[in-house]
Amino acid sequence: MKKIEMKTPLVEMDGDEMTRILWGMIKDKLILPFVELKTEYYDLGLLHRNETEDNVTVEAANATKKYGVAVKCATITPNKQRMEEYPELTQMWKSPNGTIRAILDGTVFRTPICIDSVKPVVKNWQAPITIARHAYGDVYKAVEMHTAVPGEAKLVFTGDDGTEETVSVQRVDGPAVWQGSHNKESSIRSFAKACFQYAIDLKQDLWFSTKDTISKVYDGRFKAIFEEEFEAYRAKFEELGIEYFYTLIDDAVARVIRSKGGFIWACKNYDGDVMSDMVSTAFGSLAMMTSVLVSPDGKYEYEAAHGTVTRHYYKYLKGEETSTNPMATIFAWSGALRKRGELDGICELVDFADKLENACFDTLNSGYMTKDLTLLAEPGTEVHPVNSGEFLDIIAGRLRESLGA
């Protein structure tokens, strides 16, 4: 078979620990034999971020802006314990995902990979539910206060033009707790655009929920901005036969549970934090959750939702066999290659991405799975537990067959 040619490079962001090991294996076994892979490579491994004073992360994000499509391996976000583990670190570098998200002004969409042998806890869910979480502001950027005596709190806004607006929060007769939170219209607008854009990409309905009956101004503004931004996408939605649907968060929760799945649910920051854990757990496993960062102007960064799987990495370093699930990382590659194919008009690349994903599904459906999935498999499923390398080899065999290579 002649390898599939690419036009524009993918932005490739390598990462850390077990997922870095999987990264190399996936490329060697599933991509390089079939695709004349063109990438612009950025090493976001922790030590290289440290050597470049984290400039490599910024460069990788800017390259994503330039080329439009990136694929990223999971990376370590250093904390106190990591500072001890890696004494050469000159700073507790910020989360690369946070840096990239800020530069792209993007929204993260998380989608479970559904397979026959692992059924969602919610039995009427037949198709994946994608959660879009707004990643700026609200309680995550709030200021808080605990007061001890009776009194009154006021919210004061001082405009740069000298105007001032004041509202009384509450008068209290004893100790109290207080919180001041905000959001920016520009951020809400970017969030809305990314959601509408992604709904068009997936050809799926978009749901958005807030609590605007109670929070009439704050959540009311979210609702209004979504309605305003929708106007630019309305015709495309109608053409595709998809719907934008707004409802209250409590109504949304009830409808989601009763639904068949197969839509995107846009959530405010806190709702998205909570609901994405609920939805992903109900679908099965973090190892089967994909993630894509979409910017309002249509740039895409694909990755797995899980981390670097540290515990497996330390077993691997000791020479022990590991059965780490590479599915989400494979789907990051297939997602990125498919998008590159669509943007560059390379049908073979789109077809390759489909066949790669189908080879994964065939492998899992015939019972070959990593150990995390064997524990979740429906009773009666014939399971053959395999290690990561064996799993990738079986997928590669099936892929080769379906490509006629």
With respect to Mg ion, which residue has the nearer C-beta, 273 or 351?
273
Minimum Å gap between C-beta 14 and ligand NAP is 12
Tell me which of 309, 330, 346, 360 binds ligand NAP, using CB under 6 A. Answer: 309
Minimum Å gap between C-beta 402 and ligand NAP is 24
Cα–Cα nearest to 266, from 284, 247, 240, 282: 247
Q: Does 138 bind Mg ion (CB under 5 A)?
A: no
CB 109 within 8 A of CB 130: yes
Q: Does 75 bind ligand NAP (CB under 6 A)?
A: yes
What is the contact mask toward ligand NAP in residues 95 to 134, using x (rule: CB under 6 A)? --x-------------------------------------
Burial class from Cβ neighbours inside 10 Å (0-12, 13-18, 19+) for residue 129 reads: buried
Distance of CA 137 to the CA centre of its chain: 18
CB 194 within 8 A of CB 107: yes
With respect to ligand NAP, which residue has the nearer C-beta, 14 or 372?
372
Q: Does 324 bind ligand NAP (CB under 6 A)?
A: yes
By a kind-dependent CB cut-off of 5 to 8 A, residue 117 interacts, out of ligand NAP, Mg ion, none, with none
CB 61 within 8 A of CB 34: no
337: tokens are: 């290659």
Shortest-Cβ-distance residue relative to Mg ion: 273
CB 120 within 8 A of CB 284: yes
Cα separation, 258 vs 124, in Å, equals 7
Q: How many residues does the chain have?
A: 405
Minimum Å gap between C-beta 275 and Mg ion is 10
What is the contact mask toward ligand NAP in residues 344 to 383, using x (rule: CB under 6 A)? ----------------------------x-----------
Shortest-Cβ-distance residue relative to ligand NAP: 307
Minimum Å gap between C-beta 258 and Mg ion is 24
Cα separation, 84 vs 230, in Å, equals 49
Minimum Å gap between C-beta 308 and ligand NAP is 4
What is the contact mask toward Mg ion in residues 240 to 279, using x (rule: CB under 5 A)? ---------------------------------x------
Q: Does 310 bind ligand NAP (CB under 6 A)?
A: yes
CB 303 within 8 A of CB 89: no
Cα separation, 389 vs 394, in Å, equals 9
Minimum Å gap between C-beta 94 and ligand NAP is 11
Across 62-103, the runs of DSSP E, i.e. the strands, are 69-72
229: tokens are: 């931004």
Interaction residues for Mg ion, span 327-386 (CB under 5 A):
none
CB atoms within 10 A of CB 99: 18
By a kind-dependent CB cut-off of 5 to 8 A, residue 273 interacts, out of ligand NAP, Mg ion, none, with Mg ion
Helix 388-403 to helix 347-365 angle (10° resolution) is 130
Q: Does 399 bind ligand NAP (CB under 6 A)?
A: no
Q: Does 215 bind ligand NAP (CB under 6 A)?
A: no
Minimum Å gap between C-beta 129 and ligand NAP is 20
Q: Does 301 bind ligand NAP (CB under 6 A)?
A: no
With respect to ligand NAP, which residue has the nearer C-beta, 89 or 240?
89
34: tokens are: 């079939």
Minimum Å gap between C-beta 272 and Mg ion is 9
In sign, the C-alpha dihedral spanning 257, 259, 260, 263 is negative
209: tokens are: 């929920």
With respect to ligand NAP, which residue has the nearer C-beta, 95 or 170?
95
Tell me which of 286, 336, 356, 360 binds ligand NAP, using CB under 6 A. Answer: 286
Interacting stretch for ligand NAP, rule CB under 6 A, among 51-59, 138-146, 242-250, 300-308?
300-308
Cα–Cα nearest to 289, from 311, 313, 305, 268: 305
Count of residues in contact with ligand NAP, rule CB under 6 A: 17
Burial class from Cβ neighbours inside 10 Å (0-12, 13-18, 19+) for residue 82 reads: middle
Cα–Cα nearest to 206, from 252, 250, 239, 258: 252
Chain positions contacting ligand NAP, by CB under 6 A: 74-77, 97, 286-287, 303, 306-311, 324-325, 372
Chain positions contacting Mg ion, by CB under 5 A: 273
